[in-house]
A and B are shown apart, each in its own frame.
Chain A
Amino acid sequence: MGKLRFAIALTAAKLSVIALKITKRNGTNFPGVVAIKICPDFLKYINRPEKIIAVTGTNGKTTVSNLLRDVLAQAGKRVLNNGLGSNIASGIAACLISGVNIFNREKYRAAVLEVDERSALRIFPYVKPDMMVVTNLSRDSIMRNAHPEYIRKILEDNIPPETRLVLNADDLLSAGIAPGNDRVYFGIEKMEGDKTESCNLINDMQICPRCHTRLKYEYVRYSSIGRAYCPECGFRSPEYDCAAYNVDLDSMIMDVKAGDESEHFDIMNEGIFNIYNQVTVITVMHELGYSLSEIRNFMSKAGIVKSRYNVTKCGDKTVTMLLSKDKNAYAGSRVFEYIASQPGDKEVILMMNCLGDVKHWSENTCWLYDCDFEFLNGHGIRHIIVTGPREKDYKLRLLMAGISEDIISACETETDAPGLLKLFENDNVYILYGTDSIALAGRVKAGVLAAMGEEGTK
């Protein structure tokens, strides 16, 4: 009965793909939704490539998954990948459907699957990865993900024992996951600018997991990302199997070593988290048997990953669009830190409002007090506009961060924000928006450019 139901589900899913094409509708997930609706254990029956690499973790999994796919393509390996779809069970199903024919015969020998960490319990009982990357674990949506230990437990309860793990030694929250599994560790050796104490509000690795003494850090980059040790019992972060060192952000080059090999690499994108993503991919490729020299060659051909920051120049001014994931304090802190690190005078428009929530209830704003708004205090930031449904909460949070009320403006409607800009000489305007407000942010940007244009004609 199960196989008959599966056959019906696969046929229906394949037909839905054709229907989507004919009607020119998007819906990369839809075939998977159809399949699981008809056959709830669809993933049990669908054939899959003989080698599966899963990529999960709180941050960076999309970047790592896409880069790994592209680098493998340069190595001549065509892999099945869910880069265009979602990373929950229906997205994985849709991806695997695209990898088989109507008779359930697989067309690919390998797959790189980005997997939502919370969906592990619906995916891994059926799809057992040969290798699994955990990029890191950190706080995310309070409502969905609670706290990192919760997500770690979900992963630990569902990671198949035979799966080889690729783990971030600089993230103790994920480094100790599933201790019975084989593993390899990556990381970045001490860099210029590293600290020995975390200055972030979120730091979920403050005590030794063995004796509960407060941990010390040889170096820490943000939150608890760095190399820790316990001064009492000798516990310390795991050693690197593959590590970046001599990281030079001015020249955008670094060295990477793995075993007896070492090689120069171009740094593909700014931001420490992006270097971690690159080192993750290098580690996976090395685990797949490629030499560092080969990996460097493939990576150079994979092309530079475009900046996730969309910058538009308008006269002497710039407008930068920054996606800051809604209700995610950890991601918000990284974005604020990035803005603080940039040169010049700045104005910031904060509009990461959960517009989806507004339709049904009201946003849970706890995350504001986990997020380092303190990075917006100083650093050339001369004006901040808070806007949208939570403008009053933003304003209070900025005041709590020590920011003068004199440089805060507020408006209820996002599209009114451009009219409040001061537009200093050589101004750099940053628009921070969430995943719920991508289209709206585009309209705000148009308003900002229009204001800049008018300013230029005065």
Chain B
Amino acid sequence: MRVEVLFPEIANLYGELGNIRYLEKSVPGVKIKETYVNEKPAFLDAGCGDGEGFDLVYMGTMSESSQLLVMDKLAPYRDELISSIEGDQRILVTGNALEIFGKFISDDTGEKQQCMGIFGFHTERKMMKRFNSLYLGKYGDIDVVGYKSQFTHSFYDDENLKPLFMTERGPGFNPEVKEEGIRYKNFMATYVIGPLFILNPPLMTEILREAGTDVKPAFEEAAMDAYRSRVAEYSNPKTGFYY
């Protein structure tokens, strides 16, 4: 299995690279390629390069200035990125990294930052308001747990856009909807952090199975013990969800 991690030197907030460390421990022999912000993402050339593609491309949460930098660096490759997504490249982005792929980010000062415009949604940001919550949702039949800690909410503008998760408790893509994140072909995006794979071994197993790799989650007993406890805790109506 080959995994490319985009911009780990800046897209690494909130322990999110833990997703990759857990994947490394769960998938024997996995090859991880780290691509830095001054480099072209390798998966865009994988088809015409060494012939080996990437089974998963990952990008995690970052600061607001890093979002601008990443968009600036990816802008020359926008068409290649779209082709890659249309060509079923498996990509997972977590936290505010997803906002880069939308139409724009507006903030409470009225400023509007154009984004890559690959998907039909937009983001509204309030820098003096931190939205903190727990999350409980479903990926198919799989329970998904995690956290949200962000300055933003996103809004679907394209009614054909499909979510990654359906929310059971906590906010969806924004507090008004149950849909959470984006699933388009093999492109997956979600605000849910945790790290997502560590908090959700069944979800990681399923996503890797879809990528053609059957895995047994590392430290399965301990990981599943923590997962089951968290699902039970978050399913308990007495557990508050908003900070």
Residue A19 CB within 8 A of the other chain:
no
A364 CB contact (under 8 Å) in B22, B25, B38, B132: B132
Residue A147 CB within 8 A of the other chain:
yes
| B38: A residues at CB distance < 8 A | 211-213
Which of A254-262, A376-384, A388-396 touches B?
A388-396
Q: A361-B134, A366-B14, A400-B219 are in contact. Are A150 and B225 (CB under 8 A)?
A: no
| A142: B residues at CB distance < 8 A | 13-14, 149
Contact A392 B222 (CB under 8 A): yes
Residue B65 CB within 8 A of the other chain:
yes
Contact A396 B195 (CB under 8 A): no
Residue A181 CB within 8 A of the other chain:
no
Contact B147 A366 (CB under 8 A): yes
> What distance in Å separates the Cβ of B146 from its nearest Cβ neighbour in chain A?
9
A212 CB contact (under 8 Å) in B16, B69, B194: B69
Which of B74-82, B99-107, B157-165, B234-242 touches A?
B234-242
Question: Which residues in window 196-244 of A have CB below 8 A to B?
Answer: 201, 206-207, 211-214
Question: Which residues in window 52-82 of B have CB below 8 A to A?
Answer: 63-65, 69
Please report the C-alpha to C-alpha distance between residue A147 and residue B36 in the assembled complex, in whole angstroms: 20
Question: Which residues in window 12-35 of B have CB below 8 A to A?
Answer: 13-18, 21-22, 25
Residue B198 CB within 8 A of the other chain:
yes
Contact B226 A392 (CB under 8 A): yes
Contact A396 B14 (CB under 8 A): no
B219 CB contact (under 8 Å) in A143, A329, A365, A399: A399
| A360: B residues at CB distance < 8 A | 240, 243
Q: A364-B147, A393-B226, A400-B219 are in contact. Are A329 and B243 (CB under 8 A)?
A: no
Residue A146 CB within 8 A of the other chain:
yes
Contact B15 A143 (CB under 8 A): no
Contact B9 A147 (CB under 8 A): no
> What distance in Å separates the Cβ of A145 from its nearest Cβ neighbour in chain B?
9
Please report the C-alpha to C-alpha distance between residue A197 and residue B134 in the assembled complex, in whole angstroms: 36
Contact B14 A370 (CB under 8 A): yes
Residue A149 CB within 8 A of the other chain:
yes
Residue B187 CB within 8 A of the other chain:
no
Residue A368 CB within 8 A of the other chain:
yes
Contact A366 B130 (CB under 8 A): no
Residue A126 CB within 8 A of the other chain:
no
Residue on B with the closest CB to A207?
Answer: B9
Question: Which residues in window 122-162 of A have CB below 8 A to B?
Answer: 139, 142-144, 146-147, 149-150, 153
Residue A290 CB within 8 A of the other chain:
no
Residue A369 CB within 8 A of the other chain:
yes
| A147: B residues at CB distance < 8 A | 13, 63
How many B residues have CB within 8 A of the partner chain? Answer: 44
> What distance in Å separates the Cβ of B156 from its nearest Cβ neighbour in chain A?
25
Residue B86 CB within 8 A of the other chain:
no
Contact A366 B25 (CB under 8 A): no
Q: A207-B37, A360-B240 are in contact. Are A146 and B151 (CB under 8 A)?
A: yes
Residue B214 CB within 8 A of the other chain:
no
Q: A212-B37, A361-B242, A399-B219 are in contact. Are A149 and B65 (CB under 8 A)?
A: yes
Contact A368 B25 (CB under 8 A): no
Q: How many A-B residue pairs have CB under 8 A?
A: 101
| B149: A residues at CB distance < 8 A | 142-143, 146, 364, 366
| A370: B residues at CB distance < 8 A | 14-15
Contact A361 B18 (CB under 8 A): no
Please report the C-alpha to C-alpha distance between residue A212 and residue B242 in the assembled complex, in whole angstroms: 37
- For B37, B147, B193, B222, which residue has the most chain A Cβ atoms within 10 angstroms? B222
Contact B15 A206 (CB under 8 A): no
> What distance in Å separates the Cβ of A362 from its nearest Cβ neighbour in chain B?
6
| B25: A residues at CB distance < 8 A | 400
Q: A142-B14, A369-B18 are in contact. Are A399 and B130 (CB under 8 A)?
A: no
| A211: B residues at CB distance < 8 A | 38
Contact B219 A150 (CB under 8 A): no
Q: A147-B13, A393-B226 are in contact. Are A400 and B21 (CB under 8 A)?
A: yes
Contact A392 B225 (CB under 8 A): yes
Contact B9 A206 (CB under 8 A): yes
Q: A150-B127, A366-B147 are in contact. Are A396 and B13 (CB under 8 A)?
A: no
Residue on B with the closest CB to A360?
Answer: B240
Please report the C-alpha to C-alpha distance between residue A409 and residue B38 in the assembled complex, in whole angstroms: 45
| A405: B residues at CB distance < 8 A | 222
> What distance in Å separates the Cβ of B140 from its nearest Cβ neighbour in chain A?
24
Residue A367 CB within 8 A of the other chain:
yes
Please report the C-alpha to C-alpha distance between residue A362 and residue B231 in the assembled complex, in whole angstroms: 12
Please report the C-alpha to C-alpha distance between residue A118 and residue B156 in the assembled complex, in whole angstroms: 32
What 0/1 pattern do residues 126 to 145 of B give for CB contact below 8 A with A?
01001010100000000000
Residue B223 CB within 8 A of the other chain:
yes
Residue B85 CB within 8 A of the other chain:
no
B9 CB contact (under 8 Å) in A146, A214, A368, A393: A214
| A393: B residues at CB distance < 8 A | 226
| B16: A residues at CB distance < 8 A | 366, 369
Please report the C-alpha to C-alpha distance between residue A362 and residue B230 in the assembled complex, in whole angstroms: 9
| A365: B residues at CB distance < 8 A | 147, 194
> What distance in Å separates the Cβ of B19 from its nearest Cβ neighbour in chain A?
9
Contact A214 B36 (CB under 8 A): yes
Q: A207-B10, A393-B226 are in contact. List 8 more A-B contacts (CB 8 A).
A: A206-B10, A212-B37, A360-B243, A364-B149, A365-B194, A366-B147, A368-B15, A392-B226
Q: List 29 A-B contacts (CB under 8 A).
A: A143-B243, A146-B149, A146-B151, A149-B64, A149-B65, A153-B127, A201-B17, A206-B9, A207-B37, A211-B38, A214-B36, A329-B15, A361-B243, A362-B239, A364-B134, A364-B147, A364-B243, A365-B147, A366-B149, A366-B195, A367-B15, A369-B21, A369-B195, A392-B229, A396-B219, A396-B222, A400-B21, A400-B25, A400-B218
Show the binding face of B for A, using Cβ within 8 Å: 9-10, 13-18, 21-22, 25, 36-38, 63-65, 69, 127, 130, 132, 134, 147, 149, 151, 193-195, 198, 218-219, 222-223, 225-226, 229-230, 233-234, 239-243
Show the binding face of A for B, using Cβ within 8 Å: 139, 142-144, 146-147, 149-150, 153, 201, 206-207, 211-214, 329, 357, 360-362, 364-370, 392-393, 395-396, 399-400, 405
3 tightest A-B CB contacts, nearest first = A369-B15, A369-B18, A206-B9
